[in-house]
Amino acid sequence: MIACLLAVLFAGGCGNGSKPKKPTKPIVQEEKKDPPPETEEDRENQRKKQRYALVPNGSSCLPLGLKDEHGMELHLADVDGNARICAVDTDMSRALGVLGCWNVDLKQATLDYQGTDPLPGGSFRVPIRDRCARGFCVPEDASADGKTVILSWNLDGKKVAMLVADDIHLFDAGSKKHESSFPIRGPKGIQGEVSAIHYIAESAGGAVFVEGGGDHPAVWVYKADGTAVGAIEPIGAGKDAKPLSTKLGSFTGFDKDRVAIAERGFTAMTVYEIATGRKSKLSRKVSAGPCKKEELDAYWKGEEDSLGDKCKKHMSGMFGHLVHADLVRGERNFLTLLRGPRLGEFAVLDPTTLTEKKAIMLPWCDGPSADDDEGKAGKKESAKAADKSEKKAKSAPRGGGSKKAEKDEDPDAGGE
């Protein structure tokens, strides 16, 4: 009894002496929210960081990644009378599109950074997600097979062509509204794989040119209304003639009304008029040098390793820099962006003979400048090549071109 009273005084009660437990609140688990869906703006910000890592914003020199295995390629176009070059991503694990562009001051041989807007008539691949690429979306009933698509802006930047699977889709560039589509396969359509598309047109009309074809690469023409014109063929081609091949050559936007196919390192160039299909041809006088006929045939088949050392050196010096070169028509001459051993240089070509008149060396980032020994040596070699080409041009036959034609700078002068 006494023990119980003491327990009441000092422990608050009689019993086991423990305080009653407070009721516990139930644990409420917070519901995990899904992250907001990735937007096109988010993806563009990610792409921008990757692009700037390859071509720094505002750079005034060519990135060395063009020379190594960084997956870049340089292309040329005429933009409002300016020679503009763009580095384009060729690494399909990224498919970043245009990495950086520059206007070229040809007199000073300097570069002025212009951002990453696509070249008019240019071509590049980008990923497609949920039927959309860069905000351009194909209709629900259209095929959207494949991981990447090919985009090309037209000459005034107001329209866009996008190749998705086996269809070309045309869009308004500003609103990104889908306007029309047409297939690229069929009786007059492209055969084999597609490597590039080029939308060469003003706001209305013009055509989409599709490159591809596998072992015999060529160019197929489609009017903007979807009419398949067929492959560009040689002048005077017979019924069963093969298309003009771009193998070891190139397709280029000549001007707003014409395109051109350069064959075999600018041995010849066929100019194609978009509105009429009319063709004309320019030829370059070349020497076989120490090469035998079978060696020449092997070179143009892409079998350079089978050539003898002397022939290989001759062919590389004569053609290596012009294989896959881009060209635009200037006011007085043709301007060509060179490849291979002379990547980073322009050549000014005579508009009737295609011979080189002048070389222009562009600045490389962290590379030899024009003032150091290596840069001087490079410019000296380019000057020698240009001087040699100019002497050849003066002595070469003009191919029937008259003084009037030369004065008027008709790119078809002297052709067939």
Whether residue 227 sits in one domain with residue 172: yes
Whether residue 141 sits in one domain with residue 80: no
Query: Last residue of some domain: 118, 133, 158?
Result: 118
Q: Which residues of 146-242 form beta strands (DSSP E)?
A: 148-153, 159-164, 167-172, 178-183, 194-200, 207-212, 218-223, 228-231
Residue 75, domain member (yes or no): yes
Query: Last residue of some domain: 95, 118, 141?
Result: 118
Whether residue 227 sits in one domain with residue 127: yes
Residue 196, domain member (yes or no): yes
Residues whose CB is less than 8 angstroms from the CB of residue 218 and which lie 6 or more positions away in sequence, other chains included? 211, 212, 231, 232, 242, 243, 244, 245, 246
Whether residue 208 sits in one domain with residue 169: yes
Q: How is residue 83 written in tokens?
A: 């020679």
Amino acid at 363: P
Whether residue 169 sits in one domain with residue 92: no
Residue 88, domain member (yes or no): yes
Which pLDDT value is given to residue 214?
85
- Whether 10 has a pLDDT exceeding 60, the answer reads no
Whether residue 153 sits in one domain with residue 104: no
Whether residue 187 sits in one domain with residue 153: yes
Residue 283, domain member (yes or no): no
Contact 338, 347 (CB under 8 A): yes
Residue 333, domain member (yes or no): no
Residue 143, domain member (yes or no): yes
Order of strands across the sheet with 334-337? 326-329, 334-337, 345-349, 356-361
pLDDT tens profile 227-241 = 999 999 999 887 778
pLDDT tens profile 20-72 = 666 676 776 677 777 788 888 888 899 999 999 999 999 999 999 998 767 99
**Tally of domains in the chain:** 2
Phi and psi angles of residue 324, each rounded to the nearest 5 degrees, phi first: 70, 20
Looking at residues 320-348, what average pLDDT do you find? 95
What's the domain range around 198? Answer: 120-231
CB atoms within 10 A of CB 82: 14
* 142 three-state secondary structure: coil
Whether residue 146 sits in one domain with residue 69: no
Highest mean pLDDT among 3-7, 33-37, 264-268: 264-268
Tell me the pairing of strands 228-231 and 218-223.
Answer: antiparallel
Whether residue 225 sits in one domain with residue 124: yes
- Secondary structure in 3-state letters for 309-354: HHHHHHHHHHHHCCCCCEEEECCCCEEEECCHHHCCEEEEECCCCC
Which pLDDT value is given to residue 377?
43
Residue 328, domain member (yes or no): no
Query: Last residue of some domain: 192, 213, 231?
Result: 231
Confidence band (pLDDT; 50, 70, 90) for 185?
A: very high
Residue 195, domain member (yes or no): yes
Whether residue 134 sits in one domain with residue 189: yes
Residues whose CB is less than 8 angstroms from the CB of residue 194 and which lie 6 or more positions away in sequence, other chains included? 150, 163, 184, 210, 211, 212
H-assigned helices in 134-208: none
Contact 348, 365 (CB under 8 A): no
Q: How is residue 93 written in tokens?
A: 């694990």
Whether residue 221 sits in one domain with residue 138: yes
Phi and psi angles of residue 7, each rounded to the nearest 5 degrees, phi first: -65, -35
pTM here is: 0.80
Q: Which residues of 59-186 form beta strands (DSSP E)?
A: 72-79, 82-89, 98-105, 110-115, 124-127, 132-133, 136-137, 148-153, 159-164, 167-172, 178-183
Beta bridge partners of 137: 132
Whether residue 197 sits in one domain with residue 135: yes
